[in-house]
Amino acid sequence: MTSPHDKLAVTLAVNGRDYRIAVEPRRSLADALREDCGLTGTHLGCEHGYCGACTVLVDGVPVRACLMLAVQAHGRPIRTVEGLAGDGPLHPLQEAFRDEHGLQCGFCTPGFLMLAAGVLEREPDIGDEALREILSANLCRCTGYQNIVKAVRAAARRIKEAAGRG
């Protein structure tokens, strides 16, 4: 029916905008986001699922964009680091990462932000142990992690406070 090199029409709904692209079946979601949508905030650190730098939200849950094909994400809501703040002020997670020095080189940062965003949106009251277990999914080579944990906890507090006021 199709040749492996035939490009398939795919619509990626990223950060509320539709990107109509044509990709080979073998193109990863990460490559499609980066190369076809121009959203290079999603980083590739290993392309085999271990580092988590490519973590994005698909249907609201964090997944590895290197282990998903672009065609599999057709039509499903995707969120990347570029959509976290939009044009406005920083997202509480981004603010907290800055305040707590939760990043150095910044390469793993988008993956950690999206992992944390996905988790906090689903489980705003997550306990420390469960949070640490989830954050152990991604690798960081600069910070030694402790400021990342501090930042995510601080952001969780801020988000809850804001929700309480709202």
Partner 1 sequence: MKPAPFSYHAPSTLDAMLALLAEGGEDGKVIAGGQSLVPMMNFRLARPARLFDLNGVAELDFLRAEGGWLRIGALARHAAFHRPPCGGPTGALLAEVVRHIAHYPIRQRGTFAGSIAHADPASEWCLVAATLGAEIVARSRAGERRIGAGDFFLASLSTALRPDELIVEVRLPILDAGWRTGFCEFSRRVGDFGIAMTAVALRVESGVVREARIGVGGVEDHPARQPAAEQALVGQPVAARAFAAAADAVAGAVRPMEDLHADAAYRRHLARTTTRRALEQACAGSGS
Partner 2 sequence: MADGPTRYIGMPHKRLEDRTLLTGGGRFAADLSAPGQLHMRVVRSPVAFGRLRSVDVREARRLPGVVAVWTFADVERIPPIQIRLTKIGGLEPYQQTVLARDYVRYVGDPVAAVFAEDPYVAEDAAELVFPEIEELPACISATEPPREFMPETLPGVSSEAACVTKAYGDLDAAFAAAHEVVELEVAVGRHTGVPLETRGALAEFDPAKGTLTMRGAAKVPHYNRGQVARMLDMPDEMVHLIQGHVGGGFGVRGELYPEDVLVCHAALRLKRPVKWVEDRQEHLMAANHSRDQSYRLRAAVDARGFILGLQAEVFSDQGGYVRTHGVTVPDLSAAMLPGPYLVPAYRADVHVRLTNKTPAGTYRAPGRYESTFARERLLDAIAHALGRDPVEVRRVNLIPRDRMPFDRGVDTLGTRVVYDSGDYALLLDKLLAYLDYDRLKQALAARRAAGEHVGFGLGYFVEKSGLGPADKAVISIDAEGMVEVVTGAASIGQGIETAMAQICAEVLEVPIERIRVVHGRTDRIDYGMGAFASRVTVMTGCAVKAAAEALLEKLAGAQVGTPASAEGWFRADHMTYPYGIHAAVVRVDPGTCAVHVERFVVAYDIGRAVNPMLVEGQIVGGAVQGIGGALFEEFVYDANGQPLVTTFGDYLMPTLAEVPPVEALVTEDAPATQNPLGVKGAGEAGINGAGAAIAAAVDDALGRPGAVTRLPVTPIRLHRLLGERD
Greatest extent of the chain over all pairs of C-alpha atoms, in Å: 57
Q: Between residue 29 and residue 68, which ones bind partner 1 under the rule CB under 8 A?
A: 31, 47-49, 52, 55, 61-64, 66-68
Only one of the segments 42-50, 68-76, 116-124, 157-165 lies at the binding site for partner 2 (rule: CB under 8 A); that segment is 42-50
Q: Between residue 67 and residue 86, which ones bind partner 2 under the rule CB under 8 A?
A: 80-82, 84-85
Number of neighbouring beta carbons within 10 Å of residue 55: 28
DSSP type of residue 48: S
CA angle, 22 then 13 then 87, to 5°: 120
44 near partner 2, judged by CB under 8 A: yes
Contact 61, 40 (CB under 8 A): no
42 near partner 2, judged by CB under 8 A: yes
Contact 148, 142 (CB under 8 A): no
List residues near partner 2 by CB under 8 A.
24, 26-27, 34-35, 39-48, 50-51, 53, 80-82, 84-85, 90, 94, 97-99, 101, 103-110, 113, 132-133, 135-149
